Amino acid sequence: MITLKFAQRAKKIKNKVHANAVQSPAEMLLLIRQLRSENDKLKDLLKKGGTAILSSPDGDSTTEKPPNDESE
């Protein structure tokens, strides 16, 4: 009985194929520079214990806060 339920659920799974974007070497180098820069900024921010507004490559923005140390 359990096998039949699993098979019914498995039949409902639909996979979507995504093609990877092909980028030129210049585009890859630019992306690497941007990510390294963001990484350095975030490392500095962690050292200071502050918060940051991060923007992802697709334009979304989120506010990140370091975790509170509640062990006191």
The full set of domain ranges for the chain reads: 36-66
Q: How far apart are CA 4 and CA 49, in angstroms?
A: 53
Provide the pLDDT for residue 20.
86
Whether residue 1 is predicted with pLDDT greater than 90 in this model: the reply is: no
Provide the pLDDT for residue 6.
92
Strand partners, 52: 64
How would residue 72 be classed by pLDDT, with cut points 50, 70 and 90?
very low
pLDDT in tens, 11-64: 999 999 988 888 899 999 999 999 999 999 999 999 988 776 666 655 555 555
Pairing label, strands 61-64, 52-55: antiparallel
